[in-house]
Structure 1
Amino acid sequence: MIRYDALDALPVRGALPALNDALEGHGTAVLVAPPGTGKTTLVPLALAGLLDGGPARRVVVAEPRRIAARAAARRMAWLLGEKAGESVGYTVRGERVVGPRARVEVMTTGVLLQRLQRDQELAGVDVVVLDECHERHLDADTAAAFLWDVRETLRPELRLVAASATTDAQGWARLLGGAPVVEADGVSYPVEVVWAPPVRPVRPPHGMRVDPALLTHVASVVRRALAERDGDVLCFLPGVGEIARVAGQLGDLGDVEVLQVHGRAPAAVQDAVLSPGARRRVVLTTSVAESSLTVPGVRVVVDSGLAREPRVDHARGLSALTTVRASQAAGRQRAGRAGREAPGAVYRCWTEAEDARLPRFPSPEIKLADLTTFALQAACWGDPDASGLALLDPPPGGAMAAARAVLMAIGAVDSVGRATERGLQLARMGLHPRLGRALLDAGPDRAAEVVALLSEEAPRGYGDDLAGALRAARRGGDAYAGRWRAEVRRLRAVSGESAHPPTRHRPAEVVTVAASRSALGDEGLVGLVAALAFPERVARADGGSHLMVSGTRAEVAEGTALRGAPWIAVAVADRPVGRGHARVQLGAVIDEEVARLAAGALLEQVDEVHWADGDVVARRVERLGAIELAVRPLADADPVLVRTALLEGLRQEGFGLLRWSPDALVLRQRLAFLRLHLGEPWPDVSGDALHARVDEWLEPELSRARRRADLARIDAGQALNRLLPWASGEAGRLDGLAPERIAVPSGSRIRIDYGNPEQPVLAVKLQEMFGLHESPAVAGVPLLVHLLSPAGRPAAVTADLASFWKDGYKGVRAELRGRYPKHPWPEDPASAEPTRHTNARLRR
């Protein structure tokens, strides 16, 4: 019997006519309905024609989480007076409850994507409702893009509804071709906001770490709320670990029941939370309870203000969750849980001033997450770069490039990004492509156990040794072990459907090694599976840590079975903020044979010739990514590689590696002077310019060189002459424009110092310049004259001899005349006879 009293009480009923009109006229609609209005339960029943005798339609409802999918289906079945699986069924990973006459099927968005890959037309489906699209999960965004593509190209009659409590309604409307926005008025009870920040400052979240002082404070706020308010308390925390810690601090609440609800909680616990309790309850939960679920009896929400988001370190090939401040939209959703059934209150564990600084909406997962699965989905859909998909936010280019590199390495896409037959298999398995590859290549019968262990984070008590964790799961009687066994069964079934016979598409060497590993027992098998799934995380012991194929170092905890192993495969790792090394959370011992097999795409033998430690180093290296497996000297190195190494040496250490005679150094200085003051055609002889023209002036000497000693034998001056402007005839003017020496009044030819190209220096004894009224110049540039004492020490510096003779000479004469009496010191140097000699020599 249909429970019309409950259905009529749902406020969204008033929006149904407008929603039907939108779908009839446009085929798509955006439904915005506050929490508790019935959008998740009433709307699908009405669209399916199960309530008021409307046209019979088959409706698919996509939910972001398994717990929400099961709860929504059971709630709809209850409203119809039925059990789940009759008119309303559900499908989540590993569980399908759908009868032959079901008109509404609730499924997770991940299941919907797999179904779309198998049947793009969604044959037999009339309406798809994408629920809670405001959460911006990657699967939901992808499903929306695929469904719009189906509607545009294959099935224009397919109706689409994007439903949410809080969302960018206009953005979704644009995405769905200008869809009408239908808003439902909710009967929301008032929720009082109580600001309850910690008395003392707490450290902000750091990676996965949450300050224990904050968790202690949250527990105290829960106790306060129980004392000040009636009804059940719903407390939001970022993750399972934090839930367990707070639960431990609430162990003495007397008659109050403490429940822990999260995506990995046992189904019995999840179901119990969604039914009224016999006792007062405190429900500790993650963001799974933000939307889709109504927890009966809740009058109070305690909000820690924290959430978890994915982060990917593409450079190191590591991905993990990180703790962040929850957005304002999430805060509103959480607070709304307290006003579903009656007036309530929300205790926020932060200040009102902080609230204004929080982000408005959560970050779209497509901007943050590992995009390997998304890239494979897009490739299988026929749009490898996702450029043609209707997405609110385009995927970041770097993340897509990293994802394609992974997919190419496991054979899921070809060189241009198109999905291979193997890629199509992997996309339909409901696994990350890495794990799907490991399942197929290592053999589904036994590998399924290990892959199931890797597909969901194992309890910390299972340890960091994958073989030990497998044994713990087999003997475990906990909720995780139950889910693990169910996933093992699912994987064996789905892998059997994906490949007949089981070894199809498996490389022959993988089949051989898989068989040998299986014979060795758990240790051999888990190592092979982990290495196949994460080939770039295969690592070899190197000093006090392990060096991964990716180039990142990984540290293993003390006292673990992984410590000291020559080779390991790292399945789960994180990188603590501020540290360069990864930290192994879960891994397996392997040997070099498995390492070579799993990371075979990165195995190469290369001749490496480079400049190191001041000379050319030539060696033949067998390398597995960043790991050097074997090295030997290379006697017959490729001359091209040798030349490149020599050029690198010249860049690092400069052209001083060549033989520079005094004349060669002077030539370079003279050319630099002419380039500065006259420009073309005189060559630029700076280091960068010489490197740019090395082919013109340093050949063939460079081609004959093999090592540093050969460079030292190259005559730099002779080579530099090749850059002179011979073709134009200007080279013949070098000595005239920038002579090495210049005649002075005494008749001496004095060398010019071109060390400073802006103004060369002429260092000459003062007496040899008597009688010269203008400073000498070269190429029109006055020389800076250093006038020397008879002992060859600078007595004065001038670029204007006339001024010096008139003003500066008297002081120099007075100072030096007594010191050097044998040399002439006339009173009028401008008219005196220049000389190189002493007075005695002059008298003779």
Structure 2
Amino acid sequence: MTDPIARLLAAPPDLPVASGLAEVVTGLRTHGVAVVQAPPGTGKTSLVPPAVAGLTGGRVVVTQPRRIAARAAARRLAHLLGEQVGATSGYSVRGDQRTSAGTVVEFVTTGVLLRRLQRDPALPGVSAVVLDEVHERQLDSDLTLALLVDVRENLRDDLLVVAMSATIEAQRTAAVLGGVESAPVVDVPSALHPVDTVWSPLPSGVLRIDDRGVTPRFLDHVAATTRRALAERSGDVLVFVPGVAEVMGVVRRLAGVDADVRPLHGRLTSAAQDLALTEGARRRVVVSTAVAESSLTVPGVRSVVDAGLSREPRTDHRRGLAGLVTVRVSRASADQRAGRAGREGPGAAYRCWSQAEQEHLVAHPAPEIATADLTSFALELAVWGSPEGAGLALLDPPPAPAMAAARETLTGLGAVSADGAVTDRGRAIARVAADPRLARALLDGAHHVGSRRAAEIVAMLAEDVRAPGADLVAALRGLRRGGPDSGTWKSAAKRLEGAVRSEPASDLTDDLAVGLVVALAHPDRVARLRPGGSSYLMAGGTGAAFGRGESSLAGTAWLAVADADRPPGRSDATIRAAAPIDEDLALEAASALWREDEQVAWRGGRVVARRTTSLGAIELTSVTLPDPAPHLVAAAVRDGLRVDGLSALPWGEGAVNLRARLRFLHTALGEPWPDVSDAALVESVETWLGPELARIRGVGDLRRVDVTAALRRLLPWPEAGRLDDLAPERVTVPSGSAVRVDYGGDQPVLAVRIQEAFGWRSTPALADGRVPLLLHLLSPARRPVAVTADLESFWANGYPQVRAELRGRYPKHAWPDDPWTAPPTRGVRR
């Protein structure tokens, strides 16, 4: 054990988690794994890693969900050890590292540890891993937990693993981490001071969000609530808003308050983040995104102002649109935020909603695996050798539709093969610390625009830099001039440039270079202006248009869209970031979507046949096809009949009757007698219309079809030979007349005059005797006087009454006393 660690553990600071350190060590000794459940502010991030290091004597890697949290945690532990960061306590995050040979506790982002696991699952030199803030359920943390369980089971049973959670996720995590025998859970009680809840509902008529995002009037309300907190309470104020734009909007609105107003978010430079986290001589107002919710300590805070909003990933898999959306905060997250006010003494949480609205908030935020785009996740699984995640201890299985969409994207990038196995290109993409689509754009774009410019553009896309007027070219120029996001962008661009082989720059202008790299990343979002309008059609099939604010790109013939979202209730997506591109570059970048098709469709009552070339859903050229393939014509006619109905065909009496007989036999006997319902006939149009299909080009051709002959093609053989026996068109009655059977109803009907049925003792039956005829017995005037399917019962019981009523009205017709033996007659008595 190193001396600084030993000194800290011998006299730890007065933090609640100190009482549970011995239990953590015991759990690791007996099980090799442990779970620590402790609310924010209990000191788990500062004291559990040194305790683990004291047990192992080797390096302990501690994960944090964000870069800002990893750096802050390393500084906090270094302060407790009385050292500089990079000695015993250090950190490694993307683009920034401060460690040394003497570093014992290394704080990293979860993504950094994931990269190390993929490079070498044995994690040489690491004796223990501490996963912090696992309750946030980020994709990387869920996956890293599963991979560490796999490593312990199959490669390194000596690797100690601690998972730390602030919520009830601890028990689920313990079950996954411990395998058959659940990991021991160390529960650290909260050390929070009382926190008063102050409700600050919106003024009447103020909306939080509209189709452009968080409204200016709502930010006014958040700023006014912050001023109220400053006036009513002492100490520093921590304000939670959902994103960087909202942070800066509230900061501007707080100009002139008697306090230092500091923004805090992940895109700030390290120096700016340190400034927000350091107490000064004056009061502070720290306006932060969710980075300060649970994984980051902001000292001096006694009041929290919560806007009640958060950003969560959402993906429209059908349209291929993924991004962050602004949603109402969960009750669990609201409680986490409120707890920040009670770490150092009694505090207050000002909530920018009403107590009634509180009851309608969801209990917990959804895990990212349930809502996010899973392309990176699926690639990591493929690189690990488990393309579907089979055998991995994931807290939740990935949704099947999201995984299918991710596999389709990765296959299009050439990153995985048809069976889901990772390819060499996929491994190269995975080595770039970026979304797979951006990694592909970097690797392929360097050849066209040079490695430096490709890295600059990909870094801008990866850092989610806001594009003024949705214009990414303007955003790139602003970054080069030293705009507000230029610090993190420059370091990211430098890191990405080192991941590709240097290529000579092309002669493309910045406008087209940005457009090409964006198109390489998102070929399905290459978009062309619709004729005569201001909206676009993207190659993926989704319409898109710029938002209400005018964009300098509006009206550009071709665009490469980097970011678009589809507001609820709208068919077209809203373009948030794009760059111009010409048709040649669009075809090159999205070449996998280029296709040539024969399109045959039923439009306006006729078959329209064309040969088209398309870039996805964007039609490039179209010529008339004089002799379309029969199967395409059949499909078009089928569509036409489905839309216009079978009434477009000439249904003569013979066709109607034959169809009714076939319907009767299908109902009575089933297969092989065909289904002749509208839906079935439409689907089997190739079978029964047969040769006529090749000649059909419109409604006029349909009117000349011999429908009776066409239906006979559906007759099953050899059963067809018995059609007239099973469902005769006519039935001969005792008088010798051949009477037509009506198959139009649920039961076949035979309408016959009573005099022609004398001597008929029982009702005839059809379909091999299964279905009796329904007799409509008629008067001499051919009006129904009785309906029966039991002729014997009618002669015995019904006939005497009918005879008594009608013989006086029709005296010239036979009305015998005994219909059983009387001869049948067709006309009057002689």
Matches within 5 A, 1:338-353: 338-353=341-356
The answer (yes or no) to whether the contact 1:676–1:757 under 8 Å persists in 2 is: no
The Cα of 1:44 is off from its aligned counterpart by 2.1
Q: Does 1:481 align with 2:471?
A: no
Instruction: Pick the aligned partner of 2:657 from 627, 645, 666.
Output: 666
Partner of 1:624: 615
The Cα of 1:37 is off from its aligned counterpart by 2.4
Q: Once structures 1 and 2 are overlaid, which stretch shifts more, 71-80 or 652-661? A: 652-661
Partner of 1:762: 751
Q: Does 1:315 align with 2:332?
A: no
Matched residue type, 1:552? T
The answer (yes or no) to whether the contact 1:65–1:288 under 8 Å persists in 2 is: yes
RMSD: 3.6
The Cα of 1:733 is off from its aligned counterpart by 4.8
The answer (yes or no) to whether the contact 1:91–1:111 under 8 Å persists in 2 is: yes
The Cα of 1:827 is off from its aligned counterpart by 8.1
Matches within 5 A, 1:263-412: 263-412=266-415
Matches within 5 A, 1:420-569: 420-443=423-446, 444-460=451-467, 462-476=468-482, 478-496=483-501, 502=502, 518-543=506-531, 544=533, 545-557=535-547, 559-569=550-560
The answer (yes or no) to whether the contact 1:312–1:369 under 8 Å persists in 2 is: yes
The Cα of 1:441 is off from its aligned counterpart by 0.3
Instruction: Pick the aligned partner of 2:43 from 32, 38, 42.
Output: 38
Structure-2 separation of matches of 1:751 and 1:34: 86
The Cα of 1:670 is off from its aligned counterpart by 3.9
Q: Once structures 1 and 2 are overlaid, which stretch shifts more, 520-529 or 712-721? A: 712-721
Matched residue type, 1:333? Q
Structure-1 separation of matches of 2:118 and 2:667: 68
Distance 1:809 1:356, change over 3 A: same
Say which SS state the counterpart of residue 322 (structure 2) adopts. Answer: strand
Partner of 2:65: 64
Structure-1 separation of matches of 2:339 and 2:714: 79
Matched residue type, 2:773? V
The Cα of 1:587 is off from its aligned counterpart by 0.8
Distance 1:9 1:741, change over 3 A: closer
Matches within 5 A, 1:586-605: 586-605=577-596
Structure-2 separation of matches of 1:723 and 1:549: 42
Distance 1:534 1:830, change over 3 A: same
Say which SS state the counterpart of residue 377 (structure 2) adopts. Answer: helix
The Cα of 1:574 is off from its aligned counterpart by 1.0
Distance 1:772 1:365, change over 3 A: same
Distance 1:274 1:678, change over 3 A: closer
Distance 1:208 1:61, change over 3 A: farther
Say which SS state the counterpart of residue 536 (structure 2) adopts. Answer: strand
The Cα of 1:351 is off from its aligned counterpart by 3.9
Q: Does 1:222 align with 2:212?
A: no
Q: Once structures 1 and 2 are overlaid, which stretch shifts more, 404-413 or 615-624? A: 615-624
Structure-1 separation of matches of 2:684 and 2:348: 76
Q: Deviations over 1:321-347 (max 9, x none)?
A: 222222222222212211211222222
Structure-2 separation of matches of 1:32 and 1:671: 71
The Cα of 1:372 is off from its aligned counterpart by 0.8
Distance 1:320 1:696, change over 3 A: closer
Say which SS state the counterpart of residue 287 (structure 2) adopts. Answer: strand
Partner of 1:168: 169
TM-score, reference length from structure 2:
0.87
Structure-2 separation of matches of 1:209 and 1:684: 54
Percent identical? 48
Q: Deviations over 1:692-717 (max 9, x none)?
A: 77787665x45765655666555443
The answer (yes or no) to whether the contact 1:725–1:731 under 8 Å persists in 2 is: no
Q: Does 1:607 align with 2:598?
A: yes
Q: Does 1:783 align with 2:775?
A: yes
Matched residue type, 1:464? A
TM-score, reference length from structure 1:
0.85
The answer (yes or no) to whether the contact 1:532–1:598 under 8 Å persists in 2 is: yes
The Cα of 1:130 is off from its aligned counterpart by 0.9
The answer (yes or no) to whether the contact 2:121–2:151 under 8 Å persists in 1 is: yes
The answer (yes or no) to whether the contact 1:371–1:400 under 8 Å persists in 2 is: yes
The Cα of 1:680 is off from its aligned counterpart by 7.7
Say which SS state the counterpart of residue 507 (structure 2) adopts. Answer: helix
The answer (yes or no) to whether the contact 1:302–1:346 under 8 Å persists in 2 is: yes
Q: Once structures 1 and 2 are overlaid, which stretch shifts more, 232-241 or 177-186? A: 177-186
Structure-2 separation of matches of 1:479 and 1:667: 79
Distance 1:559 1:797, change over 3 A: farther
Say which SS state the counterpart of residue 469 (structure 1) adopts. Answer: helix
Matches within 5 A, 1:566-581: 566-581=557-572
Say which SS state the counterpart of residue 321 (structure 1) adopts. Answer: strand
The answer (yes or no) to whether the contact 1:88–1:104 under 8 Å persists in 2 is: yes
Q: Deviations over 1:813-844 (max 9, x none)?
A: 99xx9xxxxxxx5387636997769xxxx99x
The answer (yes or no) to whether the contact 1:742–1:752 under 8 Å persists in 2 is: no
Structure-2 separation of matches of 1:73 and 1:377: 27
The answer (yes or no) to whether the contact 1:22–1:28 under 8 Å persists in 2 is: yes
Say which SS state the counterpart of residue 323 (structure 1) adopts. Answer: strand
The Cα of 1:571 is off from its aligned counterpart by 0.6
Structure-1 separation of matches of 2:381 and 2:673: 58
Structure-1 separation of matches of 2:271 and 2:431: 29
Structure-2 separation of matches of 1:11 and 1:705: 86
Structure-2 separation of matches of 1:370 and 1:357: 27
The answer (yes or no) to whether the contact 2:740–2:750 under 8 Å persists in 1 is: no
Partner of 2:160: 159
Partner of 2:791: none
The answer (yes or no) to whether the contact 1:574–1:584 under 8 Å persists in 2 is: yes
Matched residue type, 2:526? V
Structure-1 separation of matches of 2:666 and 2:679: 14
Say which SS state the counterpart of residue 479 (structure 1) adopts. Answer: coil
The answer (yes or no) to whether the contact 2:16–2:43 under 8 Å persists in 1 is: yes
Distance 1:615 1:45, change over 3 A: same
Partner of 1:89: 90
Say which SS state the counterpart of residue 112 (structure 1) adopts. Answer: helix
Distance 1:279 1:525, change over 3 A: same
Gaps of 5+ in 2: 767-771, 789-793, 818-823
Distance 1:33 1:529, change over 3 A: same
Partner of 2:251: 247
Structure-1 separation of matches of 2:712 and 2:33: 78
Partner of 2:820: none
Distance 1:682 1:159, change over 3 A: closer
Structure-1 separation of matches of 2:562 and 2:645: 46
Q: Deviations over 1:664-711 (max 9, x none)?
A: 433333444565567788665444555677787665x45765655666
Say which SS state the counterpart of residue 528 (structure 1) adopts. Answer: helix
Structure-2 separation of matches of 1:681 and 1:101: 82
Distance 1:656 1:334, change over 3 A: closer
Q: Deviations over 1:203-229 (max 9, x none)?
A: 465677345554333333222222222
Instruction: Say how many residue pairs are matched.
Output: 797
The answer (yes or no) to whether the contact 2:750–2:773 under 8 Å persists in 1 is: no
Structure-2 separation of matches of 1:638 and 1:831: 69
The Cα of 1:451 is off from its aligned counterpart by 0.8
Matches within 5 A, 1:676-715: 685-688=676-679, 701=691, 707=697, 715=706
The answer (yes or no) to whether the contact 1:673–1:754 under 8 Å persists in 2 is: yes
The answer (yes or no) to whether the contact 2:300–2:344 under 8 Å persists in 1 is: yes
